[in-house]
Amino acid sequence: MIPRLLTSTIQRLAGGFPVVVLTGPRQSGKTTLVRDTFPDKPYVSLEAPDTRMLASVDPRGFLATYPDGAILDEVQRVPDPLSYIQVIVDENRSPGRFVLTGSQNFALNRQISQSLAGRAGIARLLPLSGTELRSAGLLPPVLDDWLFTGGYPALHST
């Protein structure tokens, strides 16, 4: 994994908020970053149809499976559990309990600001920066090459 500058920020947020939300464009490395940063947390992808259905039909039962919290990836796919997460963290505000990821969209932002206001630290992950590429030894020497290639992590996988 290419080290990301945002790692220390999400670690700090996890130390102060019961919920950490990481948003950003698709394929920017959100899943890789949270799985690497929180390796002991159960990981749940809401892209899987059966998992998505369970979270949608029975959000309370779905979240009961993870009493100590979890990484819920692609939460914009099923925003229903967010209200239940609010209730859960109001009962136990242990920092860093839930880590949520989602592609940037206005519906998700509105749902988070309504359900998790004051309970969630929010960060936005963008594609790889020049600093991140340079520190990984992947920054092209010519600016035009970098502009042509872009900063999405999959384009720089080795």
- Tens of pLDDT, residues 36-46: 999 999 999 99
Residue 158 pLDDT > 70:
no
Lowest model confidence (mean pLDDT) among 65-79, 106-120, 126-140: 106-120
| Res 35: pLDDT | 98
pTM of the full structure: 0.90
Distance (Å) of CA 113 to CA 21, 27, 108, 120: 11, 24, 9, 9
Residue 71 pLDDT > 90:
yes
| Res 150: pLDDT | 82
Q: How far apart are the first and last CA of the chain?
A: 9
Per-residue confidence band for 152, with pLDDT thresholds at 50, 70 and 90: confident
Q: Does domain 7-126 have CATH number 3.40.50.880?
A: no
